[in-house]
Structure 1
């Protein structure tokens, strides 16, 4: 018997009897994946950073300094983010292994060092996962977290709870788009993203993908997760904004004909940033893995060009170094 979606709700456009889908049109056509692979192999893409990998690491990487006790946000590379709110630590999409792959010897290799390890965390209260792709859901990292911090609460999209429990996670909550959970003065809301899910050859779109909104008395943070651009994303700000902190993706967008349905480019990210009111925004989804045709050093340069083309001189949406942090005290005045 074919697998059936146990969460299926016919009233929800992103549900299907077989899993989940985007409300937006599917832009990829049969054969596009093979075409992209042929073209990137023929062009020898992606290319290294212009100055080479060691110089890129020197320019864009540092160790994460967790000292202090102020409310703070760290970028840990790619889509991994650490929040400290009232001495509670929240880790989002932690991928700290050497590859974003099911195999230790093949698949996308980390090109820049992780800025911290799980053992360097003083404690961990919450882990948010956006979807099950290997560059966002890292089995070795999850297993280390589950062993070191057994009380940590994982909050994940529908369909990912079982995977987490099998890797030792004791406390997991699954949410659909627009559902929330309130814990210890924090509200976590799963919000739509334009993406997809797949962990094996047999589970395409059987689990949901999402972004996250994290809110307390002073912070209202939108983590977009992995997402192509869509005007539907503006509904997140309409319902849950205004935001004073955001994380928007700027990498893995080339070639646009193939990636645009799942990854936004810097021009689209700037447009989205403007549309949600220009909060302090961390550019994510770049700098660690070579997942598309854009080299590691292209997204931050393209973001600067996009920002200038949009007439923006504000420093509210500029690249951070991997491992860099910002205080969240008086964030609305940044």
Structure 2
């Protein structure tokens, strides 16, 4: 089903078809979304958990101080996939993807801090603040972008100042309930349900589930939009090859569901950070992957290569020990688990064609 509406000057389409899945919380007076497999946080079962010595130093990661301000200097495993996808990691959750036919896509582009006034408030109080990326797309590269895909509305994944700098003929693919967060300025917005699909030129794009939550609260308890917009990941399919961007997510059965629907995935862009917290570790892990969770999920997806993200010198380090502790844990657990899925590690700003 395709519903078209105009929100002042924005054009909004809702993409819901026979394959789509929408899950709302019961006993609520409004549409409040929930995960496909909700369980009590303490009852979530994880196949593998690193218990001790999880962050050993690595000769492949060169740091200015302990797990901080680092560069990966190791040699990536040889991967020959011939997918035609070119992947550039721009930092945190931001990626630039190009297909062999020059279709240009962006995932979760955020170059600055949180949108004002929230970012300014964090700066004043010494809260969550990042080192801003030094490498980004040129003005011409931004003009060539065909579509931007957002995983959810959290401030580190959706930044209004970034989209304000883009041409208005770019398609914005977003989860259901997301369009109301755009300013009214002639944006082309496609709201999508889980497992709905659309085409960008000759490239198929599918919105898929994640185990997370949403909210963009300005003043807690006065304006509460908790879970009133959906969250998820994306599959980009071109010439029979598939690239998966997981979005922010914890581990659940949704990974095996995605594999059943779309088959084995060629390139998996997997988050490996923001799972650690001294007091709220169970909650953080419930909605974020540990490195070992990401490796288990990659097996279930039958990924042919993993490109990790979420850590880094330009990350916000939300729930992390340090900028590169997640990468150190990933390298350690990849060996300990004898994972057969190759890793391809990028430093922020780097690109690879696979």
Q: Do they fold alike, i.e. is TM over 0.5?
A: yes
Q: CA shift at 1:142, angstroms?
A: 1.6
Which residue is 1:97 aligned to?
112
TM-score, structure 1 normalization? 0.78
Match in the other structure for 1:322: 348
CA contact (8 A) 1:222 1:246 kept: yes
Q: Quick check: 1:73 aligned with 2:64?
A: no
* Corresponding residue of 1:38: none
**Corresponding residue for residue 124 of structure 1:** 145
* Deviation of 1:311 (Å): 1.0
Aligned residue for 1:193, secondary structure, equals: coil
- Is the 1:142–1:167 contact (alpha carbons within 8 Å) kept by the matching residues of 2? no
Q: Is the 8 A contact 1:245 1:279 kept in 2?
A: yes
1:1-334 equivalent positions in 2, closer than 5 A: 14-16=23-25, 17-27=30-40, 51-52=64-65, 56=69, 59=71, 71-85=85-99, 86-99=101-114, 102-107=117-122, 108-111=128-131, 113-117=133-137, 119=139, 121=141, 122-145=143-166, 149-164=167-182, 166=183, 168-200=185-217, 201=220, 202-255=224-277, 256-287=281-312, 288-312=315-339, 316-328=342-354
Q: Tell me, which stretches of 5 or more residues in structure 2 are unaligned?
A: 1-13, 43-61, 74-83, 123-127
- What is the count of residue pairs matched by the alignment? 289
Structure 1 stretches of 4+ with a deviation exceeding 6 A read none
- Tell me how far 1:240 sits from its aligned partner: 0.8
Coordinate RMSD, CA, aligned: 2.9
- Judge conservation of contact 1:188–1:215 (CA < 8 Å) in 2: yes
Distance 1:195 1:88 in 2: 29
Q: Aligned-pair distance for 1:96?
A: 0.6
Note closer, same or farther for the CA distance 1:291–1:55 as it changes in structure 2 (3 Å cut).
closer
Q: Secondary structure at the match of 1:19?
A: coil
Shift of 1:102: 4.4
Provide the rounded CA distance (Å) in 2 between the counterparts of 1:298 and 1:184.
39
After TM superposition, the score normalised by the length of structure 2 is 0.74
- Offset, 1:258: 2.5
Greater relative contact order structure (CA < 8 Å, 6+ sep): 2
Deviations 1:81-106 (A, max 9, x none): 10112222100100111347643423
CA shift in 2, pair 1:279/1:28, >3 Å? same
Question: Which digits, 9 at most, give the CA deviation of each residue in 1:201-241, with x for residues without a partner?
Answer: 41000000010011111431111100000122211011012
Helix, strand or coil for the counterpart of 1:281? strand
Question: Offset of 1:172 from its aligned partner?
Answer: 1.0
Greater helix percent: which structure?
1
Output the CA distance in 1 between the equivalents of 2:256 and 2:116: 32
